[in-house]
A and B are shown apart, each in its own frame.
Chain A
Amino acid sequence: MFDSNQTSTAISRTGISRRRFAQGMAATPFALGAAAKGFRATRAQDKVKLVLLTHWGTQEQKEPLDAILAEYTAANPNVEIEHQTVAFDELLNRISTGQLGGDAPDIYHFYNLWLPDFAASELLSTPPEDVNADITASYAEGTVGGASFNGQAWGYPTEVNDYQLIYNKTMFQEAGIEAPPSTFAELREHAKALTKGSGDNLTQAGIMFLQGWDSGVVHPWTSLLWSNGGQYVADDYSAALFNEQPGIDTLQLQADIISDGSAILSLLEDADFESGRAAMTIMANWWGATLRASDLGIENVGVAPIPHGDGGTSTAVQYEWLWGVSNVSQNAEAAWAFLKWLNGPRDGAADASSPMGDFLTSALNAIPGRTSDQAAHTDVLGDPFVKPFVDAFASARSEPIIPGAQEIKTALQTQIESVWFGQKDAAEALNQAAEEANRILKEKMGS
């Protein structure tokens, strides 16, 4: 049992006052903490520890990447790498809480739409000159643009995705249509010709528009907008431009197809395309894994460029992920050295794949952003389903990396859907979305 008298006696014997004793007791945890920190710092001088945060948490994804990390640490015994993973939905929260709690990982793998917020909050370290030069020289212009904000590339692009028209070959054959639509007019005509039934008895829709998911709504629409000669936002981010005439015409095209009874509005989970209820849709390359696993059969799926409007040229939206280094990392130099190795050709051979290229193509079935990786993996990327997506990168443009991008995208999704559901006309909806976007841009640019 604790005896306060004994303690008092012990204190008086040592000549320490009660106040001093209490102060000492209160300071003990801090002193121990400081000592522990000093101990870690001492160890850190011996070995550099890098903490890596990704959303590749499944066994099929984590194990191959861990093997690559082990390859690096074996060649660099002074480096230790800890690979932390969280689900995609939790990634942004983990980054923000880690930053606030002083437990930030050294290296992040993140969605490029978050770049403006990260850059504005000084979350990321600027790449050193050699890394910057490597990024600029080794990736397509659109891909470098997707990893840049305010003219600065912030990290190594990894997985890149773009959108194309995906169609059911058998349905096209049955309808006697020889080629996929290449213009807006053909898109509407083909959708009509491919539709079977109507209303409650619709058994086959000409085209599936994804609803209820911001990227599923906005990315295909933006691809059509750009292919109609329109713009999303001004180059200086001062105002939204998607509500100009090309945007209104693009949304009107979708509204017309819906009012023709040729479209089905579907959630991604509804699997309407995979189960043969829709003949066309506009979707990203990563969806190929789902199509391969479906009863539809990947050989029955065709891929074609985004149809264009009068005077426009087919332009796909692309988005990407990138590696960045935390601005508060104590080991930023080691982190960039590791990332340069991870994303550079093996053994310095210019035509060899990078370790990251190997990982992306084998473990994720994804398209690597580095052009030398794309050339080194033609066996995988030459697949009939994948190749059109790879080819489209030559003219693809990055999803606008603008301040408040996520918020603007959500506002635009809501307004596009309001037209699909007949609540508003195209001009009214896009003007409302633009008003919201301009307010967000003004706020973010002003802050």
Chain B
Amino acid sequence: MGAMTATDRAIVRPGREHTRRRVNRRVLAGYGFVMPAVILLVFFALGPFLFTIWVSIHSWNMLTPVAEMPFEGLTNYRYLVNDDPLFRETFGNTIYFAVGNVGVSVVLALGVALILNGQVKLRAFWRAAFFMPYVTAPVAIAIVWRNILDSNWGMLNGLLDRVGLPQQPFLDSLEQAMPSVIGVAIWHGVGYYMIIFLAGLQAIPHDLYEAARLDGAGAWKLFWSITLPLLRPTLLFVIVVNTLASLQVFDLPFVLTDGGPVNETNTLVMYMYDTAFRFLRMGRATAMAVMLFAVIFVMTMIQLRLLREKE
């Protein structure tokens, strides 16, 4: 098609031209408004994500230019799956932590929320008290708990001693280290999930309970037939968010035990950190990140499928 000449342009009906310009401007304005968010997304989310995948199929020590990274294909992935016992161990530790933390803290948070949703003395105080650990930085909490759980000097052992119970090694024990870390994580997070459950509980219409009571339903029946089904979206949110956080846990075990003793509390993200920043194996570390992303994605999808509202 030939280009329009000046004469051609002059004979185009002015009204249509004006409308087209207005539409073009509106479209451009739309793009203009969206562009900052798109740029941020590309530079700070999509870009790094794609770069992570790109690095994971290379060998890179962060000291040589990116353009000179040797291509490795799926070597990093194959190594992690087939030849790296520490990857399997830290993955297992991470699942152990996630199951323990999510399982206990969800039940505990729901229980506390149910109690504090009723008529309890000093209700506001108790709610604040349970929520308080969550507003404290995990690193600060870990330092305090490390001292409390110290096998030689810890307050908890002092307490056990006073009541005539045997002292425990806690963080120095192969068997007790991970349960101790999980315990601290539960203490830290239960108040936050309690608040979410409280919001969910207060959104349940009260007349449903009254109607059920008139029909003779007891406390257990009320909970099982009204509270739990109507709390399903809240429960889903709490489980998904808590699982995501648990699978990415780093700060608490890093400060509490630094992964010890003998890697018993070493998590996948801690191993990823060591691999990247201490061993300078960025390709392998990003392969771990991609695999962790895949695991989190699949687990979240499964949870959403299992817990979503039936149509």
- A residues adjacent to B (C-beta < 8 A): 92-93, 95-97, 99-100, 117-118, 121-123, 200, 211-213, 264-266, 270, 272, 277, 404, 406-407, 410, 414, 417-418, 421, 423, 439, 447
Whether the Cβ atoms of A423 and B62 lie closer than 8 Å is: no
What are 23 A-B pairs with beta-carbon distances under 8 A? A92-B277, A92-B280, A93-B277, A96-B61, A99-B62, A100-B65, A100-B66, A118-B63, A121-B64, A200-B167, A212-B260, A213-B258, A264-B152, A265-B172, A270-B153, A277-B152, A406-B278, A410-B278, A414-B86, A421-B174, A421-B261, A423-B174, A447-B70
Contacts of B261 in A (CB 8 A): 211-212, 265, 417, 421
Tell whether B243 is near chain A: CB-to-CB under 8 Å: no
Whether the Cβ atoms of B61 and A121 lie closer than 8 Å is: yes
Contacts of A92 in B (CB 8 A): 277-278, 280
Whether the Cβ atoms of A96 and B62 lie closer than 8 Å is: yes
Q: How far is the CB of A263 from chain B (nearest CB, A)?
A: 13
Tell whether B14 is near chain A: CB-to-CB under 8 Å: no
A93-B277, A121-B64 given; name 17 further pairs at CB < 8 Å.
A92-B278, A100-B63, A100-B65, A117-B280, A121-B61, A123-B63, A200-B166, A212-B261, A264-B152, A266-B152, A270-B153, A407-B278, A407-B281, A410-B274, A410-B279, A421-B174, A439-B83
Q: Given the complex of chains A and B, what is the CA–CA distance between A228 and B251 in angstroms?
A: 40
Q: Given the complex of chains A and B, what is the CA–CA distance between A211 and B174 in angstroms?
A: 13
- A117-B61, A200-B166, A423-B174 as given contacts; A211 in contact with B66, CB under 8 Å: no
Closest B residue to A212 using CB positions: B260
Whether the Cβ atoms of A421 and B262 lie closer than 8 Å is: yes
Q: Given the complex of chains A and B, what is the CA–CA distance between A447 and B261 in angstroms?
A: 33
Contacts of B280 in A (CB 8 A): 92, 96, 117
Tell whether B227 is near chain A: CB-to-CB under 8 Å: no
Q: How many pairs of residues, A versus B, come closer than 8 Å at their CB atoms?
A: 67
Contacts of B257 in A (CB 8 A): 212
Mostly, the B contact residues are: loop
Within 8 A of A (CB), among B256-301: 257-258, 260-263, 274, 277-281
Number of chain B residues whose Cβ lies closer than 8 Å to a Cβ of chain A: 29
Q: Given the complex of chains A and B, what is the CA–CA distance between A414 and B83 in angstroms?
A: 17
Closest B residue to A122 using CB positions: B64
Q: Given the complex of chains A and B, what is the CA–CA distance between A447 and B281 in angstroms?
A: 13
Closest B residue to A417 using CB positions: B262
Q: How far is the CB of B118 from chain A (nearest CB, A)?
A: 43
Tell whether B59 is near chain A: CB-to-CB under 8 Å: yes
Q: Name, among A93, A95, A270, the residue most crowded by chain B CB atoms within 10 Å (CB to CB).
A: A270
Closest B residue to A440 using CB positions: B279
Closest B residue to A408 using CB positions: B279
Q: How far is the CB of B110 from chain A (nearest CB, A)?
A: 36
Whether the Cβ atoms of B62 and A100 lie closer than 8 Å is: yes
Q: Given the complex of chains A and B, what is the CA–CA distance between A238 and B227 in angstroms?
A: 66
Q: Given the complex of chains A and B, what is the CA–CA distance between A406 and B150 in angstroms?
A: 28
Closest B residue to A93 using CB positions: B277
Contacts of A272 in B (CB 8 A): 152
Which one, A93, A121, A212, A264, contacts B258 given CB within 8 A? A212
- A117-B280, A270-B152 as given contacts; A96 in contact with B260, CB under 8 Å: no
Whether the Cβ atoms of A96 and B150 lie closer than 8 Å is: no
8 closest Cβ pairs, A-B complex: A121-B63, A96-B62, A212-B260, A407-B279, A417-B262, A200-B167, A418-B262, A121-B64
